[in-house]
Amino acid sequence: MANKLRKTAIDLFREAIAEGIVTQNPAEATRIQRVTIRRERITLDEYDVIRDAAEELPSWVAPCLDLALITGQRLGDIQALRWGDFKEGRLYIKQEKTGVMLAISEKTRLECLDISLSDVLRQFKTLNHGASHIVADEKHSMFAKKTISEAFMKARRASGLTWNGTAPSFHEIRSLAARLYTEEKGKDYAQKLLGHKSSDMTDKYRDVRGAEWTEI
């Protein structure tokens, strides 16, 4: 609202300058109000619907969503994963944003989905024989971050789901992972998996923003 008023004032003063009424535009000296866009969270039920829709897209999309959920990692880290990062039953990740180093066991599992990291990696093995990167298929040795993000948006749109606010992006899978692992294995586990040094940051991811019912 404040930015709209600012723009209106600037336009009015420009008209006044053109008419010779004033010589300066004081509205241009005002600051643009920063707007924080809060994306809607994804619930587990919504994730299931989006993932089902992803099954109708190229074969790498659905397991890519599972990989993001099982590991709880950011888009850039998912995109960059190489088969060489998987050693002796662990997936080694150095987070692009923070430099935090993780070694995630292939046994890492979400009971609510009945799926483990090894299950997801097995799916990719059948898709991309000889590829350098994990998120790949027979025709592509890797995918750009934009391609992965757009694939999620296609699945989200195809799901038929709607949100009142800003529709969730691929990044919201990380928030869902934080909530699911907190529920199944506790806050400390979720914090370690996400690579957060502060529990306050993990708490932000656990904030459901009204997306889930509170059971009493």
Please identify every residue annotated as catalytic: 74, 97, 171, 174, 196, 205
Kindly state the tokens that stand for 29: 């000296």
Rounded to whole angstroms, the Cα distance separating 103 from 92 reads: 4
Beta bridge partners of 109: 116
Beta bridge partners of 166: 39
DSSP per-residue string spanning 149-182: HHHHHHHHHHHT---SSBPP-TTHHHHHHHHHHH
Question: How remote is the C-alpha of 16 from its chain's centroid?
Answer: 47
Q: Is 74 exposed, middle or buried (0-12, 13-18, 19+ CB in 10 A)?
A: buried
Helix/strand/coil for 122: helix
